[in-house]
Structure formats: structure tokens, C-alpha cells
Amino acid sequence: MQETQIIREPIAYEKVPTRIFSNSEEASKAVANEIAELIKTKQKAGQKAVLGLATGSSPKTVYAELIRMHKEEGLSFKNVISFNLDEYYPMQPDAIQSYWRFMKEQLFDHVDIEPGNFYIPDGTVSPSMLAQHCQDYEKKIKEAGGLDFQLLGIGGNGHIGFNEPGSLENTKTRLMMLDQSTRVAAKSDFGGELTKVPKKAITLGVAKILQAKRIVLLAWGERKAPMICNAVEGTVSAQNPSSYLQKHANALFVIDEAAASGLKRMKTPWLVEDVKWTNSMTKKAVTGLSIGLGKSVLKLTNEDYNDNGLSDLLASHGNAYDINIDIFNQLQRTITGWPGGKPDADDTHRPERALPKKKKCLIFSPHPDDDIISMGGTFQRLVDQGHDVHVAYQTSGNIAVSDEEAHRFLEFVVDYNSGFNVENKETLETYKEAIDYLNNKKDSELDSPTVRLVKGIIRKGEAKATCRLVGIPPENVHFLDMPFYETGRVQKNPLGKADVKIVSALIEELKPHQIYAAGDLADPHGTHKVCLDAIFESLKELRHKNYMKDCWVWLYRGAWAEWDIHEIEMAVPMSPHQVMQKRMGIFKHQSQKDGVVFQGADSREFWQRAEERNQATAKLYNDLGLAEYEAMEAFVRYHF
Ligand code: F6R
């Protein structure tokens, strides 16, 4: 592994070696390097390299780097034998969701591995042959000489392979009932319909995984943080199968900063090593101390600092009161009911500048509902306070509409047309065909262009309804339909020049004073990240333009998580009435209610998540000793 890419070394009380990288791309390169070195070493010795491979979103970047090495550096896979961890059961190999198809698309079709040299559990084997199939799979691994290297992801519930919580250390390769949380997380791969997610999977057993000579577990994003923390710092338990890696002599967790966010060295680094007391670090320590002790910031004493490992911070300031008042004031100054700046107010103590009084604000929303979910209260305030607010929906969001929802709308079109004797027979036929298509759609098929169009129109209509409710005119609503998104499947294309061009064109046209964008880190390979990268790229291109000098960029978080309290630079309070108004705005997105496609492992609906999150932020401020609000939306300023 390339040590230079590692931001911190492993530390003593972590029970399994853990390396934290600033992002998943860097981390994946390091892991791909290690795999490539293994392949090459074995090649030189005239031996096979036996790899255990995983599917899921986490290893994709590793596979992409291996493909690059094959194409650009001549890395050969001729001596590789691979065994995949798992496969849904039952599952046809050509189905979109099959791990067979995943591995072919993500790796095997792009490298020179011999066709007979990769093995994936067979999702078509008959129930009576399953036990034999599992035994044979283990036997084949043994005959190949055992796994030299096992790559793992980790489930939100701690599973490795599909060894769900409760799996014992000695479990063999077997058929496993999938946890409800695993099935819910997989729902988006199955058109959003939980009933279509298989209930079972064949998985390599924990025992076989632990027999690998080397194990590397990958985890990206905040969603993985609780289980990572438990596996790295907690005790070994069947409730978190990834914790078994503590018992392995040569295992490594390779994680990004977001997945590491629960670890002590990230949460309370001053307890682990010498830190530089920057303002941000001080804020983190003081707010953490306050929350940890259940005392407001202004009540913290010298003893509180000394007793909790913050004596050097205390010594550098002289006394608790000075630190407390400084941090309290900083927190206070983040709160504003004027997200577009308070007219005629003194700017020194406010997050936004007062001038110009009427600002042009551009809200970028990756999907058609992120604006209202993540910053609906602020959106409403900006409009109410007279700013010229525009919203740009970056993607069509069409894959997040269920087939059933599309069916309902298609039927409406057909019935409407016949009810009102609309003549255009050709159009009618197209919609009837689309209904037929949905009725007969197989698991291996993507949506037809008509179905995708209909799904996109449904989401467009919902976004327009939200904008009407908030009160912006139709000409301020922009649908960008960024092309990277239009694959018809969960897997999107990488960001392209055409995407950035569309974003730049709108910024150029509007010349906004404020840009709001989704700075979502929870889903590093998802649409939000690509949408944010497109904005960053565009800002880079446009930064020398005159109007950009007067443009401030505010980042809000996506549906999953909120900024840490020490990071927040603008907190916009909401009254109970405003919370209700925001809820109504979210309700406009009916295709995203009651069984949403991209539910994740969280069973709450989006309006519930948003409300609970905004209320939690308000409570946090109140617990720190600031005024008590009903709810708050939070932002961080991006300096480009
Ligand atoms: C995949 C597998 C699973 C995944 C895990 C994480 O072969 O065995 O354990 O690694 O569910 O999935 P992602 O990486 O999609 O979060």
C-alpha cells in the first residue's frame, strides 16, 4: 500500500488495523495496487493468484482501477482464479441484479481473465442440490490452494458476504435468509419493489472468509460509520459479523473519512494524538464536551476541560470562560432567519451579507425533491423575503419511480384520451405499448424509453407542484436532465463534459449571488456526488468571471445526514408553521411516498427524516445553550 496516501496511521486501541483515506478513489487505488502486486508476484513465481471478490457499490472503484491498470499498464489476469462471495437465490445469471452480470460488467469483460477461472455461486441450482453446490464451492477454493486475498464490503448491519447478524464464526458456505434491512437496502436494484428482492442468498461462510491469507474490507460513506466503529473498537460479536476480522492476523479495514467518522480518532482526536487547536478543532472539542456532559457551553468549567482530556486547550486559553464565550458567540452568529442576508444589518455578525438587498438565488437540487427535503424552510424564506429564487433540478430522477406508479399515469393518459376522444391514435398506441411493456417486464430488462420518459414527467410534475406551493414562477424552474443520469439503471455514467456545460450555461445565464448545492457525503458513488462534482467543475471554469466574485455558495446535506455542529456556518430556524409548510411541499412528491424506490435502510419516509433531522439540529443548538427553535436547516459555505 502507498503510505503517502494514508492520512493517519493505525492506532493502538483500534482492534483491527484501519487505514483512513480522504476519499474512496484514493483508497480504492491503494487497494487495487495491493491486488496488482499480488497478481504480479504470483506471476513471477509461475503461480495462480486466488482472489475472493465482492459485489455491491464499494468495490466498483477498485475494479475500475484494476481495469485501468490492465489497459494502460498491461496488468494481466491470466493467472487469476477468483471466487465471488455470494449470489442471490434464486437468480438467473442474465438478470440485471445478478452478481454474475455485475462481475462481468464491472471487471471480467474488461480484463484478460480466462473464462473458466472465475466462480460465482449459482443462483439457479435446484433446492435439492444446494447443499452439494455449497460444499463443492468450498472444495474448489481448497483445490485452488485457498484464497490469497479476500475483498469485502460491509452491510449497514455489519454483514460480510451475506453472513447476516447472528452468523457464527464457524459457519460454512450456505443458503442464508436475508435480513429485512439488507433487502430494503437492495430494493433500489429491484425497481423499488421489496417483494421482488429475493429472500435468500448463497454466501461463502464466515469460516472460509477468515481462512483467506489476507482480508481487506472496504467501507465508504457515513451510512457505514456505526458498524465500522463497532467492528474496529467494539468487542467481537456475531451481531456484527465484520467484527470477526479482529481475530484475523492479516486483515485491514480501508475506509474513507465519512465511514471513519464514528471512530475515536476522528470524533475525539485530542484523546488519541497531539492536535493543532485550530478554530474548527476547538469548536468540535467544546461542542462535543458540552453535549457529552449534558451542560450548555457557557456552564463548562476548568475542571470539565481538565477531566476530559482538554487540559492543553484550557492551558492555551487560560480559563474555561474565555473559550466558552468565544465558541458560544460563534455558534450564535451562525443562526439567521435571513438566509439571503438581513437588509440594512451589520454584516460582521451574520453568515450572509446584506447587499445586494434583493439577491438572485440558484438552488441546485440533484433529484426533483432534494430542494424541499433538505432546505425547504430556507427556500420558503428566500422567496418570502423577496429574493429572485430559481431552482435547477439536475437529474430527471426517473429511475426512482416505481413501475406501478408509471402504470397508473399511463393508464390515466390512455383513459383520458379515449374519454375526451383525443384523436392522435399513434400517441395512444405508444402509451398502450408502454403499459404492455410494464405488464411483461422481466427482471433482466431496463425500462423502455417511453416508460423512462413517463417516469421523468411524473417527477417533473411533482417538482413543479412544490415550486407552485413555495411561490416561484414557472420560468424560475429549470429542468437540466443531466445526461450522465440517463442510463435507465442504478449504475450511472461518469460525469461528462456535457453535464458540466449544462450547469455552467445556467450559472452564466443567471449570474446568481447565491448558489445552494447538495454537499452530500453520505453516498459517495451516488447521484448527489456527481451532481456536486458538476457544480464544482463549473465553478472552477467560471471563477474568473466578474459576477462570480459576488457569488456565495452554500452547501446543504442530502436526505441522510446533517453537518456536524462544529461545521455549520449558517443555521436557518423554522417555526412550527414553517415545518408544516415544508411537510406539505415534500408531500407533493407522491411517487416518493409509501414505498419509495430509494428508501435505503431507513424505513422513515422523507418528510419524517427531514423533520426529525431539522428538529435534532434545533435541539442540539438548544442543548448547547442557545435559543430553542422548533427546527433548523444547516449550511456550510464552500469557498472556491
Ligand atoms: C457483496 C456482499 C455484501 C456487500 C455489502 C455492502 O458481494 O457480499 O456483503 O459487500 O452488502 O454493499 P455496498 O458495498 O453496496 O454497500
pLDDT tens profile 411-444: 998 888 888 877 777 777 888 888 888 888 876 6
CB 160 within 8 A of CB 218: no
CA nearest ligand 1 atom 4, residue: 153
- Integer Cα distance of 190 and 197 in angstroms: 6
The answer, yes or no, to whether residue 239 has pLDDT greater than 50, is yes
What is the average pLDDT score of the chain?
92
User: Rounded distance, CA 533 to CA 461, Å?
Assistant: 26
Nearest CA to ligand 1 atom 8: 161
Tell me the one-letter amino acid at 290: S
> What residue has cell string 495496487?
33
Choose the catalytic residue: 34, 164, 233, 633: 164
**Cβ of 83 below 6 Å from ligand 1:** no
Query: Is there an atom of ligand 1 within 6 Å of 228 CB?
Result: no
pLDDT value for 402: 85
> Is the backbone of residue 146 left (phi > 0), alpha (psi -120 to 50) or beta?
left
The amino acid occupying position 321 is Y
Query: According to the model, what pLDDT value does residue 602 have?
Result: 67
* Confidence class for position 290, pLDDT limits 50, 70, 90: very high
Q: What is the pLDDT of residues 551-567, one digit of tens each?
A: 999 999 976 678 999 99
Question: What is the percent of the chain where pLDDT is above 70?
Answer: 95
- Model confidence at 293: pLDDT above 70: yes
- pLDDT confidence band for 523 (50 / 70 / 90): low
d(C-alpha 393, C-alpha 376), whole Å: 14
**pTM of this prediction?**
0.84
> What is the model's pLDDT at position 3?
34
| Half-sphere exposure in the Cβ direction for 59 (13 Å, CA) | 27
For the segment 45-58, the average pLDDT, to the nearest whole number, is: 97
**What confidence score (pLDDT) does residue 5 get?**
40
Confidence of residue 177 (pLDDT cuts 50, 70, 90): very high
Q: Is 60 exceeded by the pLDDT of residue 150?
A: yes
Tell me the pLDDT band of 598, cut-offs 50, 70 and 90.
Answer: low
| Sheet containing 360-365: order of strands | 477-479, 388-393, 360-365, 514-518, 552-556, 631-638, 570-574
- Band (600; pLDDT cuts 50, 70, 90): low
**595 — pLDDT class (breaks 50, 70, 90):** low
Q: Could you report the per-residue pLDDT of 435-473, keeping only the tens digit for each?
A: 888 888 876 678 888 899 999 999 999 999 999 999 999
Mean pLDDT score, 168-182: 97
Return the minimum-mean-pLDDT range out of 219-233, 473-487, 515-529: 515-529
Asked whether the beta carbons of 381 and 374 are under 8 A apart, the reply is no
End-to-end CA distance of the chain: 32
**pLDDT tens digits, 317-337:** 999 999 999 999 999 999 999
Average pLDDT of the segment spanning 367-383: 97
Looking from the CA of residue 55, the nearest atom of ligand 1 is 7
Q: Is the pLDDT of residue 16 over 50?
A: yes
Residue 237, pLDDT > 80, answer yes
Structure confidence at residue 413 (pLDDT):
86
pLDDT tens profile 604-640: 888 998 999 999 999 999 999 999 999 999 999 999 8
Distance CA 561, CA 573 (A): 17
For the chain, give the percent of residues with pLDDT over 90. Answer: 78
The number of the ligand 1 atom at minimal distance from the alpha carbon of 153 is 10
pLDDT score of 384 more than 70:
yes
Q: Is the CB of 320 under 6 A from ligand 1?
A: no
Ligand 1 atom at minimal distance to the Cα of residue 182: 11
pLDDT of the residue at 601 = 58
Confidence of residue 348 (pLDDT cuts 50, 70, 90): confident
Question: What does R_g of the chain's alpha carbons equal in angstroms?
Answer: 26
CB of 257 sitting under 6 A from ligand 1: no
The pLDDT confidence band at residue 121, using thresholds 50, 70 and 90, is very high
- What mean pLDDT is predicted for residues 78-93? 98
d(CA 485, CA 483): 5
Lowest-confidence region among 23-32, 298-307, 345-354, 515-524: 515-524
In the three-class reduction of DSSP (H, G, I as helix; E, B as strand; rest coil), residue 157 is classed as coil
- Distance separating alpha carbons of residues 436 and 501, to the nearest angstrom: 37
According to DSSP, the residues that pair with 160 across neighbouring strands are 163
164 assigned to active site: yes
CA of 85 to the centre of ligand 1 (A): 9
- The residue whose CA has the least distance to atom 11 of ligand 1 is 155
Mean pLDDT of the region 341-352:
90
Q: What's the gap in Å between 152 CA and the centre of ligand 1?
A: 7
Residue 8 in this model has a pLDDT that exceeds 50? no
Give the H or E element holding residue 433.
helix 425-439
Grid cell digits, residue 135: 460444499
Question: CB count, 10 Å around CB of 328?
Answer: 19
Given ligand 1 and candidates 51, 53, 58, which is best to mutate, with the most ligand atoms within 8 Å of its CB? Answer: 58
pLDDT at 189: 83
